[in-house]
Amino acid sequence: MSKQRVNMDLDKELWKQVGITAIELGIQKREVVEKSLKEFIEKNDNKKEESR
């Protein structure tokens, strides 16, 4: 798997909460973001299939 660096502006409080939650779970923020993006894609892929 290749990597790509991304740079974007996010809500400061949301990013802080991501950090707190990641610490509580013992994982890195990157892992939280990757998992969330994968879940977003899966959820929307399912919606596309249901509408067919």
Mean pLDDT per 10-residue run, the chain (52 residues)?
93 97 96 96 85 71
In the prediction, which pLDDT does 19 show?
Answer: 97
In the prediction, which pLDDT does 27 show?
Answer: 98
Comparing C-alpha atoms, which of 43, 4, 36 is closest to residue 17?
Answer: 36
In the prediction, which pLDDT does 20 show?
Answer: 97
In the prediction, which pLDDT does 22 show?
Answer: 97
Asked if 21 and 32 count as a contact pair (C-beta separation under 8 A), the reply is yes
